[in-house]
């Protein structure tokens, strides 16, 4: 769900082209005993300094463009030790036999994960007490707009994405989860895991109306940032990172989190993969490194995302938290749709229907 800071945009523009190929792109080999299958940008050593300090180098990173691509490549036999899915994919990956349960006694910060994340259904643990993912980062998908072209009162409701006055000026992610999070909020659904057939049809109909306004379905922050800075897109349903990176470049853009219907919150993290060829000890070293509280400040200030470690977040100064939209960590649950895992059948329906919508059907 994400790419990195502005300083890496040009490098990742070339990377995005390579990601279209069928084979996972492997970064320059570092520590060959550990392969991390990840989103581009997360190879940043500032996310795992304790690992580098202990082993002298970063792991080897292989990249995927989205979670469905990652899922299919792992199912086809690609081997890695650790992967970085997001909350809504955990059940699907687990049911497909891709994941190995975690030994939480080997994760020092396990009990320091933010309570709001711990409460998400089927995310960290299942009813049998097994744990499957170490949450790393979380953030919002929210209204992001060009302040010189869009007035806040015009977008007080998320229904603005389907307003004909924004025809050709809208962008939402080429991402089934963010799309249906938007539509679910509009129709008043907060827990999408309980969505009925009637609600699914209503949400899909809203996305068809949005499609008429869409200039582009963005695939990563680089693409969307360029489209907004270049005047192609004025209103987007986007992650925190987009506004963070554009504001750093002096672009007049803002996030509106106080819409009538609210916003969506996603959580991503790291999992152990079955049949991992590398070192399990190093895999746990990596998991411990990414949830170390020392990483929190960098993740918030440079990427605009929240960290899963409650102690690390609490140690960040109030001004930094407020400027990144995390002034009250406990309040982020208000009027929020958490992108928690959904039943596999519903997720497959979402995937199939979203492809039809994008094709104009």
pLDDT of residue 280 exceeding 70, the answer is: yes
* Domain encompassing residue 194: 139-264+339-358
Domain membership flag for residue 62: yes
Q: Are residues 177 and 255 in the same domain?
A: yes
Distance separating alpha carbons of residues 195 and 203, to the nearest angstrom: 10
Domain membership flag for residue 334: no
10 Å CB burial of residue 44 (0-12, 13-18, 19+) is middle
Q: What is the pLDDT of residues 19-58, one digit of tens each?
A: 344 456 665 556 789 999 999 889 999 999 999 999 999 9
Binning pLDDT at 50, 70 and 90, where does residue 17 land? very low
pLDDT of residue 266 exceeding 90, the answer is: no
Q: What is the pLDDT of residues 158-185, one digit of tens each?
A: 999 999 999 999 999 998 999 999 999 9
pLDDT of residue 328 exceeding 70, the answer is: no
Q: Are residues 166 and 310 in the same domain?
A: no
pLDDT of residue 264 exceeding 60, the answer is: yes
What domain count does the chain have?
Answer: 2
Which residues, other chains included, contact 340 with Cβ-Cβ below 8 Å and sequence gap of 6+? 87, 88, 120, 121, 122, 123, 191, 192, 193
Q: Are residues 259 and 203 in the same domain?
A: yes
Domain membership flag for residue 112: yes
Q: What is the pLDDT of residues 194-222, one digit of tens each?
A: 999 999 999 999 999 999 999 999 988 88
pLDDT computed for residue 283 by the predictor: 98
Residue 213 DSSP code: T
Q: Are residues 45 and 100 in the same domain?
A: yes
CATH number at residue 295: 3.40.190.10
pLDDT computed for residue 342 by the predictor: 81
Q: Are residues 316 and 349 in the same domain?
A: no
pLDDT computed for residue 9 by the predictor: 32
Q: What is the pLDDT of residues 293-323, one digit of tens each?
A: 999 999 998 888 899 999 999 999 888 777 6
pLDDT computed for residue 89 by the predictor: 87
Q: Which two tokens stand for residue 140?
A: 């919002």
Please state whether 257 falls in left (phi above 0), alpha (psi between -120 and 50) or beta.
Answer: alpha
| 213 and 164 Cβ atoms separated by less than 8 Å | yes
Q: Are residues 213 and 223 in the same domain?
A: yes
Mean pLDDT score, 138-157: 95
Tally Cβ neighbours within 10 Å of residue 92: 19
Distance separating alpha carbons of residues 75 and 147, to the nearest angstrom: 44
Q: Are residues 250 and 117 in the same domain?
A: no
Give the global pTM.
0.77
pLDDT of residue 123 exceeding 60, the answer is: yes
Q: Are residues 351 and 231 in the same domain?
A: yes
Q: Are residues 152 and 201 in the same domain?
A: yes
Q: Which two tokens stand for residue 347?
A: 């997720």
């Amino acid at each position: 769900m994400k790419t990195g800071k502005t300083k890496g945009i040009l490098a990742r523009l070339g990377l995005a082209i390579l990601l279209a190929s069928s084979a996972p792109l492997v970064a320059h080999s570092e520590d060959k005993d550990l392969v991390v299958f990840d989103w581009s940008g997360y190879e940043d050593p500032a996310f795992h300094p304790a690992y580098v300090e202990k082993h002298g180098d970063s792991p080897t990173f292989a990249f995927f463009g989205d979670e469905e691509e990652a899922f299919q490549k792992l199912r086809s036999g690609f081997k890695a030790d650790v992967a970085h899915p997001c909350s809504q994919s955990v059940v699907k990956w687990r049911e497909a036999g891709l994941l190995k349960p975690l030994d939480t006694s080997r994760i020092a910060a396990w009990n320091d994960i933010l309570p709001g994340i711990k409460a998400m259904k089927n995310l960290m643990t299942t009813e049998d007490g097994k744990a499957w993912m170490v949450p790393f980062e979380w953030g919002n998908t929210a209204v992001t707009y060009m302040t010189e072209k869009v007035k806040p009162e015009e977008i007080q409701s998320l229904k603005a994405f389907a307003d004909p006055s924004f025809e050709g000026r809208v962008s939402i992610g080429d991402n089934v989860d963010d799309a249906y999070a938007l539509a679910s909020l509009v129709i008043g659904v907060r827990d999408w895991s309980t969505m009925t057939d009637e609600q699914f049809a209503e949400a899909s109909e809203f996305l068809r109306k949005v499609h008429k306004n869409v200039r582009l379905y963005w695939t990563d922050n680089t693409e969307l940032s360029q489209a907004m800075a270049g005047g192609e897109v004025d209103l987007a349903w986007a992650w925190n990172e987009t506004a963070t990176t554009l504001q750093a470049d002096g672009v007049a853009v803002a996030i509106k989190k106080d819409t009538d219907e609210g916003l969506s919150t996603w959580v991503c993290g790291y999992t152990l993969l079955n049949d991992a060829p590398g070192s399990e000890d190093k895999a746990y070293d990596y998991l411990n490194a990414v949830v170390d509280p020392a990483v929190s400040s960098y993740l918030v200030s440079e990427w605009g995302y929240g960290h899963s470690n409650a102690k690390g977040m609490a140690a960040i100064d109030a001004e930094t938290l407020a400027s990144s939209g995390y002034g009250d960590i406990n309040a982020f649950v208000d009027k929020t749709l958490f992108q928690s895992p959904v039943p596999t059948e519903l997720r497959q329906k979402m995937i199939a229907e979203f492809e039809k919508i994008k094709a104009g059907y």
